[in-house]
Chain A
Amino acid sequence: MTTTDPSARIIARGLRTSVAALAGLAVVYVLAIGFTPVEARQGVAQKIFYLHVPSAWCALLAFSLVGIGSALYLWLQDPRLDRFAAASAEVGVAFAAVMLTTGPIWAKPIWGTWWTWDARLTLTLFLFFLFVGYLALRASLHDPAERARFSAVVGILGMLLVPFIHLSVYLFRTLHPQPIVLKPSAPSLPPEMLRTLLVSTAVFTLLYIGLVTLRYGLAMAEEAREEAGDAA
C-alpha cells in the first residue's frame, strides 16, 4: 500500500472522524451528567436516554441508507454502492445492538420490566433482525456480483418492510391501549434536555459517518489485497 493509495486515505479520514466523534461523546457524557437537569419521575437512570435515542436514530439512518444504496446499486450496478451498503449495515447493526441493550437497562429500574413493546424498541428490534439477515446472507455468498445483487434485493425489501412494521405496531396499540404509557421520551422536553439530546444525536451521526467511512476504506483495502493475491 503506497501513501497515495485511495483506500488508505479513506481509512485515515474515517479514523479521524470516528476519533473526533468519540471525543464528542465524552463531551456529551459531561453535558448529560453535569449540565442537564435530572428528570423528576425517572431519576438519574433517565440519562441513558441520551444514548438510547440517538442510537435508535443512527440504526434507522443506517438502514435507510442500506435501502437507498441497494436500490441505486440495482439501477446503476456500481460496486461502490454495494460496498457502502455493506459498511452501513455493519455499523447499523452495532448501533441497533447498543439501542437494544440500553433499552432494557433503562426500563428495568424505572418500569420494572426488561422489555416494552413500544414503537421505537420494536422497530429497532426488527431493524436488528433485518441487519443480521442481510449480513448473514452476505457472509454465505462468495461470488461478489451475486452477493451484491442479493444483498441489494434484501435491502430494498427490508426498506419497504419498515413502514409495515410501524403500521402494525400502531394498529396494535390503538386497538390495545397500554395501561401505562411507556414513552421513553417525554412529549415536550425542557430546553437543556433538548439541547443535550440534539448534541448527542449530532455526535452519534458523526460517529456513524466516521465508522462507515472507516469500514468502507477497509473493504476497499481488503478487495485490493485479494485481487493482488489472486493475480500472484
Chain B
Amino acid sequence: MPSYDGAADPAAPVLEARGLRRSFGRVRVLHDIDLTLAAGEALAVAGPNGAGKSTLLRLLAGLLRPAAGEVRVLGRSLRGGDAAARRAIGLLSHQSLLYDDLTLAENLTFAAKLYGLSHPAAAARAALEAAGLGDRSGALPSRLSRGLLQRAAIARALLHRPRVLLLDEPFTALDAAAAARLREMLRERLTEGLGMVIVTHHLAEVWEIATRVAVMVDGRWVADQPRTGALEAFLPRYRTWIDA
C-alpha cells in the first residue's frame, strides 16, 4: 500500500496558507484567509454559495494567484510555479479533467507524462487496476457512468502520489453506492497520511470522514474546529449559512 511519508516532521503542516486575498474586479472575494493542514487531516469547508470556497480551493491548487498572501505545500511556496510544490498537489473536481477523445489509459498515461513519472504507461495501467478500472482502460470517458468516471478522475488525481488532495464538491451527482465507495477510498488514503481539503455544499456527505470542519461566509472564516460529535449538534449554530 503506498504511503505518503517523506516530511521530516510528521506534525509539520503539508499545506499552509497565510493572508490569502483575492478579488473579482474591485470586489474582495477572500479576506486574509489563513489555513493549516497536517498529514492525515481532512478539512471540510462548507458555506453558502459565493462564499469564496471554490476560489480558496483554486488558490490552494495554484490555479489562481493570490492578490496577497502565500500558499505553501510541504514548506515550499507555490509562487513562481515551483515544480516540487505542484507535484505534491492533486485535484478532484466535479469535472473529470479527462479528454473525451482519449481512452482512460491514454488519459492517464498523458497525466503521468505531465508529472514526469518514469514509466508513464505502466503507472497509468497500475492506477487503473487499483481503481478497479483495468478492464475499462480502453474505454472513452463519454462511455462511462458518472460513478466510473469519478473513479477514473480519482485515479488521475492520485497518479503522482500527491501529499495533498483538494476536492471540489466531489460528491456531486454520485449515487449512494458511488458516494460510499468514494468515502471509503478517502478514508483509506487519510490513514496513509494524505491531507485533504474538501469543499462541499452538503456537510452530511463528508461529516464522517472529516477531522476538522470550517465554515466560510463572504470570504471569511466563521468557524474552524475539530469534527467531534454529530452533525445535528453542529448545524444549529450555522443554520443560516449551511444546509446538510
Residues of A within 8 A of B (CB): 143-145, 223, 226-227, 230-231
Contacts and interface: CB of A to CB of B under 8 A. Distances in A.
A223 B24 CA distance: 12
B236 interface: no
A230 B50 CA distance: 13
B81 interface: no
B239 interface: no
Interface string B7-33: 000000000000000011111000000
B27 to A, nearest CB: 6
A143 B23 CA distance: 10
Interface of B: 23-27
A78 to B, nearest CB: 13
B49 to A, nearest CB: 15
B27 A227 contact: yes
Contacts of B24: 143-145
Contacts of B26: 144, 223, 226-227
A227 B26 CA distance: 7
Nearest to B23: A145
A145 B67 CA distance: 11
Contacts of B23: 145
A87 B91 CA distance: 40
A212 B26 CA distance: 22
A6 to B, nearest CB: 14
Nearest to A147: B25
A148 B114 CA distance: 30
A223 B27 CA distance: 11
A142 to B, nearest CB: 9
Contacts of B25: 143-145, 223, 226-227
A143 B26 CA distance: 11
A169 B25 CA distance: 41
15 contacts: A143-B24, A143-B25, A144-B24, A144-B25, A144-B26, A145-B23, A145-B25, A223-B25, A223-B26, A226-B25, A226-B26, A227-B25, A227-B26, A230-B27, A231-B27
A149 to B, nearest CB: 11
Nearest to B26: A227
Contacts of A223: 25-26
A77 B24 CA distance: 14
A145 B25 CA distance: 6
Nearest to A224: B26
Nearest to B25: A144
Nearest to A223: B26
A226 B27 CA distance: 10
Contacts of A230: 27
B21 to A, nearest CB: 13
A114 B204 CA distance: 73
A143 B24 CA distance: 7
Nearest to A230: B27
A226 B26 CA distance: 9
A227 B25 CA distance: 9
Contacts of A143: 24-25
A74 to B, nearest CB: 13
Given A144-B24, A226-B26, A227-B27, 13 more contacts: A143-B25, A144-B25, A144-B26, A145-B23, A145-B24, A145-B25, A223-B25, A223-B26, A226-B25, A227-B25, A227-B26, A230-B27, A231-B27
Instruction: Point out which of B23, B24, B25, B26 has the most chain A C-beta atoms below 10 A from its C-beta.
Output: B25
Nearest to A227: B26
A175 B25 CA distance: 51
